[in-house]
C-alpha cells in the first residue's frame, strides 16, 4: 500500500470520484463520456493535448 499524507489522500479521493463519474456517464452516453475521458487524460499528459483539458481534475492531480 502506498503511504500518503492527508493532502495526497484527499486528492486521491477527489480523483477517484471524478473517474467514477466518468464511468457512470460512460454507461449512459458513450459519446460524451469519451470526450470527458479525453479531457481527464489530457490533464495528466505532459504533451500538448489534442483537445480540452479538465482544469478541475488537473488541479487535483497536480
pLDDT at 3: 93
Contact 32, 14 (CB under 8 A): no
33 DSSP assignment: H
Closest CA to 44 of 35, 25, 57: 57
Cα(first)–Cα(last) distance of the chain, in Å? 21
pLDDT tens per residue across span 2-44: 899 999 999 899 889 988 887 887 888 877 777 877 887 788 8
- This prediction's pTM: 0.54
Q: Look up residue 48 and give its DSSP letter.
A: P
Amino acid at each position: 500500500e502506498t503511504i500518503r499524507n492527508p493532502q495526497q489522500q484527499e486528492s486521491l479521493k477527489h480523483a477517484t470520484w471524478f473517474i467514477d463519474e466518468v464511468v457512470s456517464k460512460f454507461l449512459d452516453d458513450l459519446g460524451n463520456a469519451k470526450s470527458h475521458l479525453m479531457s481527464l487524460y489530457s490533464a495528466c499528459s505532459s504533451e500538448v493535448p489534442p483537445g480540452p483539458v479538465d482544469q478541475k481534475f488537473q488541479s487535483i492531480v497536480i
